[in-house]
Amino acid sequence: MLLNFPSLFPMQNDESQPDESQPQPPNPGPSPELVNRYGLVPPDFEAAKTDVQRKTLDQRAQIDELARLRHSCAHILATAVLRLWPDALLDIGPWTEDGFYYDFDLKHRFSPDDFPKIEEEMRKVTKENQVFEKSIKTREEALAYFAGKGQKFKVERLGDIPEGEVISFYQNGEFVDLCAGPHVMRTGNVKPSGIKMLKVASAYFRGNEKNPQLQRLYGTAFKNKEELDKWVTMQEEAKKRDHRKIGAEMGLFAFDAEYVGPGLALWLPKGTVLVEELERLAKETEFQAGYVRVKTPHLAKEKMYKTSGHLPYYADSMFPPMELGELDGEERQQLEAEISNLRAKEAMHSFELSQLHPVNDIARFLSVSDSLKSVRQDLEKPKMPVTRYYLKAMNCPHHHRIFAAEPRSYRDLPLRLAEYGTNYRYEQSGELFGLMRVRALNMNDAHLYCTAEQFAEEFRAVNDMYLKYFKIFGIEKYQMRFSTHDPARLGQKFVNEPELWKKTEDMVRQVLIDSGINYVEVANEAAFYGPKIDVQVWSAIGREFTIATNQVDFAVPARFGLTYRDRDNTDKTPLCIHRAPLGTHERFIGFLIEHYAGNFPLWLAPEQVRVLTLNDDAALVDYAKAITAELRANFVRVEGDYGADPVKAKISDAEHARVHTMLVIGGRDMEAGAVSVRLHGKGNIGAKPKAEAIADILASIRERRA
């Protein structure tokens, strides 16, 4: 019950982000004797949930100047906090992409009101120009130091340092911290005007929700005030691109937590335009790639998800089932038999009871009376077996049943079933986030059933489809995350098919290399049924999202007993590729809104063209209406604004509504058979013959120009 090594002291990154590094030997942690000697309370912390890899000392030595500065700031922050709240317990203070943080445990609840005080104290620390002094300690010395101060989180962290790695302390002024560095030379190297405290948050110790929650103070630092101000301005600009803000401004979508429910997006007419344009793009692309479309219901019986393996493991992420009292034939017979059996017993017992004397036959009377009571209770118990239906959280099982609905031959493969399927996932309340994380989502889904021989070609084609889409949308910053299995966990976390794992992973890797794609490989993160590729993108407000996924599945088709008749007249199980290049409408459109800042290309723009007249002169309005009608006849989303308001006001309205193309028409244009073209955000680009302007618009839409 004391210490259970090494699980209590797993490998863990003590100061920073996960990073690629060499696998580390298991960490021994402090010995139980040591812990005893210093009178520590046996730690009851949970391990980190995912293996986080420590940075090697070499990697630390190579970090850039800014990270060094920020990491030093984390120490300065902790120095200041300890001066203000001496009882604070320390955890860790790494640098991050945007700044730094430090985790504390203390009674006082931090609030942004504390920031001026904290920043002031940090400024003092920089003015004191303390040296960051490094010293090497033995494990025992380090443990004694932190145990003596009651710094229990630090004691835990000590256990993360692998045997053989030096244990170093850094001291600035009175503040001493376990730290592998590196730092700037002196606190005076940090310009106080370049520091800013950002937010207070909470974080579980070691990222495990079973551990205590610490208070995390986020800050950022730059080498001077100018750089800091620049960053602050950029953050403010990014906030204006927030899809939640633009979505409301443009009338794209809405949430109605009161009547519809949290996380359930309503697509307004203008947002629906985006949905349908994306679907059109997907349908065209998939048609050309040889996909066929299917339609499936939004729910299925419990058996479906028992078979697929999603229950009970994913039940928490699914909406609770609907329970129906309907029985099928066999169940009904069973139930009826059971009930008539109970009725018979009831009759028997009551007859016997009526024959017994309550006093003379007291023992028997009581016994029968008890039996009767119990039978009657059983009869009252609504033991009606129910049929459970679940809203589908994924489409694959339905597609598998479509595969199973008809006999399949190798000649039918590859079979590519595509559907914009609606899925329902019961995301935790704190996880909902605008359109990016919702509870009802429309997935650009398809399942490709193929033979092992066809696999590489199919996978390559899917990959090409991703690249095609990225080009259309001008998505340049993305990363493909290739998740593979861990051979040590075959048969546990991953299906025990070592050869298939190796074969498919090799094929996937080769496709990635051949395509010259930017990717990272992460071990141990594959789906249980096969390796996968996730595409990560970064939204304008800096959040990272998985926007698309592509997974290999060589397990679930077998669970459903899917087979095809092969050339040699035997039945074989197909491989399955799950793919969703456009992810879900919700997340993809959320991303596109931020990507384009609401300024969509013409083919996507909810209002593509607005025709504005200079005045409401009848002849002019007729001319304008004819243009509007011609565009509309060609399926252009066009509106007219023919009133008497000043043209400046009309233009302002159209610009604010982010109308892509404005056709401004006055007497001069009418006489010349022309229109003046103005593009949103780009201003007036001059007059053009009417026919030419219309042809341009149609071509831009047809070609889905950027």
Do 223 and 195 touch, CB atoms closer than 8 A? no
Residues 228, 193: contact at Cβ < 8 Å? yes
- Interacting span for RNA (CB under 7 A) from 143-151, 179-187, 194-202, 323-331: 194-202
In this chain, which of 202, 333, 377, 492 binds RNA, going by CB under 7 A? 202
CB-wise, 249 or 336, nearer to RNA? 249
Residues 667-686 that bind RNA (CB under 7 A): 667-669, 676, 678, 680-681, 683-684
- Among residues 307, 615, 634, 700, which is the contact residue for RNA, using CB under 7 A? 615
Query: x/- string (CB under 7 A) for RNA, residues 431-450?
Result: xxxx--x-------------
Instruction: Tell me the window of 141-149, 185-193, 314-322, 455-463 that interacts with RNA (CB under 7 A).
Output: 314-322
Q: Is 566 in the site for RNA (CB under 7 A)?
A: no
- Residue 302 CB-density burial (10 A; 0-12 exposed, 13-18 middle, 19+ buried): middle
Site residues for RNA, 2-41, by CB under 7 A, read: none
Q: Which stretch binds RNA (CB under 7 A): 57-65, 211-219, 271-279, 497-505?
A: 211-219
Per CB under 7 A, 233 contacts RNA:
no
d(CA 678, CA 670) in angstroms, rounded, equals 16
- Contacts with 106 (C-beta within 8 Å, 6 or more apart), sequence order: 85, 87, 88, 89, 215
- Which CB atom, from 165 or from 427, has the smaller least distance to RNA? 427
3-state DSSP assignment of residue 323: strand
Answer yes or no whether residue 255 interacts with RNA by CB under 7 A: yes
Strand, coil or helix: what is 68?
helix
Q: Measured from the CB of residue 515, what is the shortest distance to RNA in angstroms?
A: 22
Please report, as a single letter, which amino acid is at residue 580. Answer: A
Binding mask 77-116 for RNA (x = CB under 7 A): --------------------------------x-x-----
CA–CA separation, 448 and 458 (whole Å): 8
| Of the candidate residues 116, 358, 474, 643, the single one contacting RNA (CB under 7 A) | 643
CB of 199 to RNA, least distance (A): 4
Q: Is 648 in the site for RNA (CB under 7 A)?
A: yes
Q: Which of 321, 326, 310 is nearest to 394 (CA)?
A: 310
Would you give the DSSP letter of residue 518? Answer: -
Residue number with CB closer to RNA (136 or 266): 266
**697 is written with which tokens?**
């618009």
Taking the mean position of all CA atoms in its chain, how far away is CA 121? 38
Of 203, 238, 289, 386, which lies in the binding site for RNA, with binding defined by CB under 7 A?
Answer: 203
DSSP 428-460: -GGG-BTTTB-SEEEEEEEEEEE-HHHHHHHHH
**Residue with smaller CB distance to RNA, 228 or 651:** 651
Q: How many residues bind RNA (CB under 7 A)?
A: 74
- Only one of the segments 116-124, 182-190, 633-641, 650-658 lies at the binding site for RNA (rule: CB under 7 A); that segment is 650-658
Q: Which of residues 116-175 bind RNA (CB under 7 A)?
A: none
Looking at 85-93, 118-126, 179-187, 196-204, which segment touches RNA (CB under 7 A)? 196-204
CB 228 within 8 A of CB 196: yes
Interface with RNA in residues 354-393 (CB under 7 A): 393
Q: What is the DSSP string of 266-322?
A: EEPHHHHHHHHHHHHHHHHHHHHTT-EE----SEEEHHHHHHHT-TTTTGGGSPPPE
Query: Out of 386, 541, 597, 698, which residue is the one contacting RNA (CB under 7 A)?
Result: 541
By C-beta, is 181 or 531 nearer to RNA?
531
Is residue 493 a contact point for RNA (CB under 7 A)? Answer: no
Q: Is residue 318 close enough to count as binding RNA by CB under 7 A?
A: yes
The runs of H, that is alpha helices, within 113-268 are 115-127, 139-149, 152-158, 225-240, 243-250
Which listed range, 157-165, 255-263, 404-412, 627-635, lies at the site for RNA (CB under 7 A)? 255-263
Is 484 a binder of RNA (CB under 7 A)? no
| Residue closer to RNA, measured from CB, 64 or 209 | 209
Q: Give the separation between CA 207 and CA 14, rounded to whole angstroms.
A: 12
Q: Which is nearer to RNA, 408 or 485 (CB)?
A: 485
Q: How far is CA 573 from CA 250, 570, 643, in A?
A: 49, 10, 67
d(CA 161, CA 146) in angstroms, rounded, equals 15
Query: What's the CA gap between 500 and 553, in Å, rounded?
Result: 10
Q: What are phi and psi of 135, to 5 degrees?
A: -140, 150
Closer residue to RNA (CB): 375 or 462: 462
